[in-house]
Structure formats: structure tokens, C-alpha cells
Amino acid sequence: MRRLRNILWLTGKELRAIRGDRVMLVLIAYIFTLAVWLVSDAGSTEVDHLATAVVDEDRSQLSARLIDAIQPPLFAPPVVLSAPQAQAAQRAGEAILVLTIPPDFERDLHAGREVTLQILVDATAVAQAGNGASFLRQTLSQELSEALSPGAESSDLVTVVMRNFFNPNLTSSWFSAVMQLMNNVTILMLILSGASMIREREHGTIEHVLVMPVRPHEIVVSKIVASGAVILTASLLSLVFVVQGAMGVPIAGALWLYACGAAIYVVAVASLGLLLASFTRTMGQFGLLVIPVIVLMILLSGGMTPLESMPDWLQGLLRTISPATHFVIFAQAVLYRGVGFSLVWPEMVMMAGMAAVAVVIVLARFRKVLAG
């Protein structure tokens, strides 16, 4: 009971220190609200109301039908311009795509002669232009097939139907919002836990703690609990009110299950942050040390790039030493696919094992730091 009281007292001290750090509080609020929305939604590269112009030199029923097929939400209502006007609009950045329909297009098509539709792409908008040109080509091909061969033919014995599970409209913000939330948990957890130890050294309060009747493991546990509670609470509020509420991203799985897995993950990351802080004496040194760790954990977690596309040896290494890899697999399964505990418990066990190893290493390192 005495040890528990010590841990609770030290945890309260850490929470008061976080409450007194207004810059950190503002950063946490920003990271889990505006930053999640800006990165996942406002910064989207999806094709959405893409500015399109049409140079119609045929003026036929078929050309009019093709123009009518270019509709929102993928494309903005197309503007019919002359060739010089379209060139000027694209040069000014007012049209990403310009479709040119040549003269006698419909007559040559019905006569069986080869015809060409030209799509001019403003390649400075790389992602939108590439996807937009592909969608426009698909739209035109489908409309031409229906116009020239109405109805099903006798040879059409097989119909291929595609359905997208878990994200029917392939909305990128559904994916990027949750991934950004997990990245924010990783970044802030490392920084907040490590900064708590550096702050003790820079302010000279670590000496005051050492003369108290507390043990090193009680200090370490209190720092993990305090920083973990703050980040876990902020991430859950962001998931419910920002990702699900404001952005409309559906959460398929149980929130309590995600909270349990996230709690295990923040313990592992907080222990890593404390371990990195034990090798440094100032915030500048800690920042230089933690930045490459953050970059590697995020880039190689499987959230930004598929884990399956990495070399086999790297996949095995990440599954052995990185809790971020297991957290991404766990969170995607719970939040996207709505799976239960029976399917994600291996990932939770792996994260718990890594957290236990990290805590043991931190305790051993922390004793050496205090002895020094």
C-alpha cells in the first residue's frame, strides 16, 4: 500500500507538471484536433470536383453525350472552350484536364475509322492529374461502349462486379485520419515521456525526488502512468469527436477493445521515450535522438507503406522489436474491420511483451542514471 501511495503521489506530481506546461497542453490539443483533420481531410489528394475543360470540334450528339458524362463529384461541371481558350485556362491553372474532341468524331466512329480523343493533363498536380486522367478515360470508355453497343450482347456471359469492403467509396480520409491519429500517439508519447525526465534534470527537481522515501521503479511507473493517461485520453476523445464525429469516419469495432490495445501501446512507447531520455541531459540532445526514432517507427509501421512490400528480413525484425507495427495491425483490424478480441489478442500479447521488456530495461538504466 505504501508503494501504491507513492506511485499515486508521484503520478499526481507529473500530472501537475503537465498541467503547468501550457505549451505542451496547446500542442496536445492541436495534434489531436486540427492536425488530424488537416492531414487526413484538408490535405487530401483525392479526385474531387477536378477542374475540366472540353474543346468540342465535333458538335455532335455523341460529343454532347460525352460532355454530359463528365459529372460531379469526381469532376467539376466541364466548361466548353475553344482551343486557344482551353490552352490559356490550363496555363493559368484553371483547368487540370482538357478533353479535345476532333471534328467528324461521331461520323468517323460509325464508319469504322480509327479516331482519337486527346486529354491534356496539367502534370504539376501530380496525384490529382494522374488519377483524374485515369477516371476520365474510364468514364469516356464506358460512355462510348453504351452509346455504340446499347444493351447486352449474346457473348456477354460473364459479368464482373467489384465491391470495396470497409471503405466502399475508397475515401482516403477514412484511412489517413486513423493513421494520423496513431502517428500522433507515437510522436507525443515519446516526447512527453522523455521530456518528463529531462525536465526533472534541467529544473533540478530530480534531487528533491531522490531524497524522498521512494524507489526508482515507483518514479518510472508514475511517469509512464501520467504521460500515458494524458495521451490515451486525448487520443480517445479525438477518435470519438474529431475522426468519427466531425469527419464522419465510421468506427466499426468496439471502442473499449481499442482503448485496451492503445493503453498497452502507450506503455511500450513511454518506456522507449524514458530509455532515450536516460542517454541525454538536455532537451536539445533528446530531440536529436528521438527524431530518427520517430521517423523509423512511423515509416516502417505499415501505416504509411504496406508491411507486405518490405523485405522479409525487415518484416521479421519489425515484428520483433517495434510495437508500432503491431499497433497498426491491431488498430486497423479493430477500427476498420470491426474484429473482436479473438483475432487481435496475438498483437496485444506482442505489444505487452515489448512493453514489459522496455520497462525492465528502463528500470535498469534508470538505476544507473540515479547512481551516476
Total residues found in the chain within this entry: 372
How far is CA 53 from its chain centroid? 33
Sequence-distant (6+) residues with CB within 8 A of 71 are 77
Name the DSSP letter for residue 75: B
Q: Please tell me the predicted confidence (pLDDT) of residue 3.
A: 72
Q: How far apart are CA 156 and CA 159, in angstroms?
A: 7
Q: How far apart are CA 333 and CA 257, in angstroms?
A: 11
Q: How far apart are CA 80 and CA 77, in angstroms?
A: 10
Per-residue pLDDT of the chain (372 residues; tens, 9 = 90+): 777 777 776 777 777 777 777 777 787 787 777 767 766 655 555 667 788 899 999 998 888 988 998 888 888 899 999 989 988 887 766 788 889 998 988 888 888 788 888 888 876 555 566 777 788 888 888 888 777 765 544 333 333 344 556 777 667 777 788 888 888 899 889 988 888 878 777 666 666 666 666 676 777 788 888 888 989 999 999 999 988 888 888 888 899 999 999 999 999 999 888 888 888 878 888 888 888 888 888 888 877 776 766 788 888 888 888 899 999 889 888 888 888 898 889 999 999 999 888 888 888 877 666 555
Tell me the one-letter amino acid at 210.
Answer: L
Query: Which DSSP string corresponds to 180-204?
Result: HHHHHHHHHHHHHHHHHHHHHHHHT
Q: How far apart are CA 123 and CA 113, in angstroms?
A: 31
Q: Please tell me the predicted confidence (pLDDT) of residue 158.
A: 38
Handedness of CA 245, 307, 349, 269 (dihedral sign): negative
Q: Specify burial of residue 141 (Cβ count, 10 A radius: 0-12, 13-18, 19+).
A: exposed
Phi, psi of 282 (to 5 degrees): -130, 165
Q: How far apart are CA 47 and CA 180, in angstroms?
A: 20
Helix 323-331 vs helix 312-321: crossing angle, to nearest 10: 90
Closest by CA to 246, choosing from 1, 92, 30, 41, is 41
Reduced to 3 states, what is the DSSP secondary structure of residue 15? helix
Q: Please tell me the predicted confidence (pLDDT) of residue 161.
A: 47
| Cα 203 to Cα 196, 209, 366, distances in angstroms | 11, 12, 18
The fold of the 52-148 domain, in CATH, is: abc type-2 transporter like fold (3.40.1710)
- Edge-to-edge strands of the sheet including 118-121? 79-80, 52-56, 97-101, 118-121
Q: Please tell me the predicted confidence (pLDDT) of residue 97.
A: 85
Q: Please tell me the predicted confidence (pLDDT) of residue 203.
A: 66
Domain residue spans in the chain? 2-43+171-371, 52-148
Do residues 268 and 191 make contact, with C-beta atoms less than 8 angstroms apart? no
Reduced to 3 states, what is the DSSP secondary structure of residue 364? helix
Q: Please tell me the predicted confidence (pLDDT) of residue 156.
A: 39
Q: Please tell me the predicted confidence (pLDDT) of residue 263.
A: 94
Cell of 179: 493513421
Q: Please tell me the predicted confidence (pLDDT) of residue 359.
A: 85
Do residues 250 and 171 make contact, with C-beta atoms less than 8 angstroms apart? no
How far is CA 25 from its chain centroid? 22
Q: Please tell me the predicted confidence (pLDDT) of residue 249.
A: 85
Tell me the one-letter amino acid at 301.
Answer: S
